[in-house]
Structure 1
Amino acid sequence: MGVEMGQQVLYCGVCTMPPEYCEFSGTQNKCKEWLQDNHEDVYNKMYGGDDVDAVTEKVAQVTVEGTGAEAAGGEGRSGRTFVKDKSAKLEAKLERENQKKQSSRVTVKRVERTKRKCVTIVHGLEVFDVELKKAAKMFANRFACGSSVAKNNQNQDEIVVQGDFSDDIHDLILAQWKQVPEDNIDLVEETKKKKGN
């Protein structure tokens, strides 16, 4: 009755869905390759065997024969072409998101407020799939200070930590979130200019 305790669920390394649902991800071919390379026993259960290959070939023949008349008549695209277009678009989108992550910057900025008081502002963590509210709470607990998520002038979320913790936050980000490359973290110091008389 129900799910067994301790049952392990396998997730695809490409689309992050269970292998049974990879066909809906749009990256089925890459998912199949990943599954074959990393979990050959599961791949054989799902795709292996002569029966599966024979059925797949027959379905492909029927699909090609069925859409051949439509393609010859020029009445529309075949379902197979549409699926390829959709998966190519999805793969391109995933690639763009990956490139965006690699080029994104996380800024840890120390800002002087008044006299000796300052705050540390962390911007850009959300691009690397870090939940800002959880990160702010972790900073508050770690440094025993106030920390919250606020909007900046560009209406983007950033974490504001009360106090000068820029170096400590830099080290904590690297330790806690491995998906953030060290080269993508910028330490910035912003000081108020003194007014001249």
Structure 2
Amino acid sequence: MVRRGGHMLIRDTLNANLAALSLDAQKRATKDAAKKAARAEAAAAKEAERKAEAMVLIKRVERNKRKYVTVVSGLEEHGLTLKDVAKALGKKFATGSSVTKTASGGEEITVQGDVSDDLYDWLLEVYGERIPEDNVDCIEDKPKKKSAGV
């Protein structure tokens, strides 16, 4: 009988340890969940800050004497697929549009023709919920005038 009682004692001790262990496991699980939530919040805040600082630049660049192209850069920072946006731009403005590599290793969209003002309005109209208006900047590259008489 004593042995059986000892066996019961061991089982009771084991059950108590298991119950305590499950409480500890629950506490750890809630701590881990809180840590994961904090990390997710920090990542979301960092992503929002990165998007807030990411600028979309629209440049008008002169090719030949009176020929211009419009270059758009910085769209990928706002989660847009450049290939899809280039295709939409080509359809919207009925012109050639492609994704090109830059010297710094990034990518940008080149649209044939001087469509910088219309493109600015179109970007804000179509992707206004993804790109804040303050983050879109229109730059016009003006060629230097040649000095007369030289």
Q: Do Structure 1 and Structure 2 share a fold, with TM-score over 0.5? A: yes
Counterpart of 1:96 (choices 38, 46, 56) is: 46
Aligned to 2:78: 128
CA distance in 1, matches of 2:26, 2:127: 49
Post-superposition offset of 1:190: 1.2
Aligned to 1:105: 55
Counterpart of 1:183 (choices 101, 119, 134) is: 134
Which letter does structure 1 place at the counterpart of 2:97?
A: S
Distance 1:66 1:171, change over 3 A: closer
Aligned to 1:84: 34
Number of residue equivalences: 128
Structure 1 residue runs of 5 or longer lacking an equivalent are: 1-60, 69-77
Write out per-residue CA displacement over residues 129-187 of structure 1, whole angstroms, 9 at most, x where no aligned residue.
22211111111111121100111121111100011000000010011112211111100
More relative contact order in 1 or in 2 (CA 8 Å, sep 6+)?
A: 2
Give the number of the structure whose residues are more often strand, by fraction: 2
Secondary structure of residue in 2 paired with 1:160: strand
Aligned to 2:105: 155
Q: TM-score, normalised by structure 1?
A: 0.59
Secondary structure of residue in 1 paired with 2:95: coil
CA distance in 1, matches of 2:24, 2:80: 49
Larger Rg: 2
Post-superposition offset of 1:83: 2.6
- Say what the alpha-carbon RMSD is for the aligned residues: 2.1
Output aligned runs, 1:1-197, within 5 Å.
63-66=22-25, 78-178=28-128, 179-194=130-145, 197=150
> Identity across aligned pairs (percent)?
41
Distance 1:120 1:66, change over 3 A: closer
Write out per-residue CA displacement over residues 17-47 of structure 1, whole angstroms, 9 at most, x where no aligned residue.
xxxxxxxxxxxxxxxxxxxxxxxxxxxxxxx
Secondary structure of residue in 2 paired with 1:108: strand
Distance 1:119 1:87, change over 3 A: same
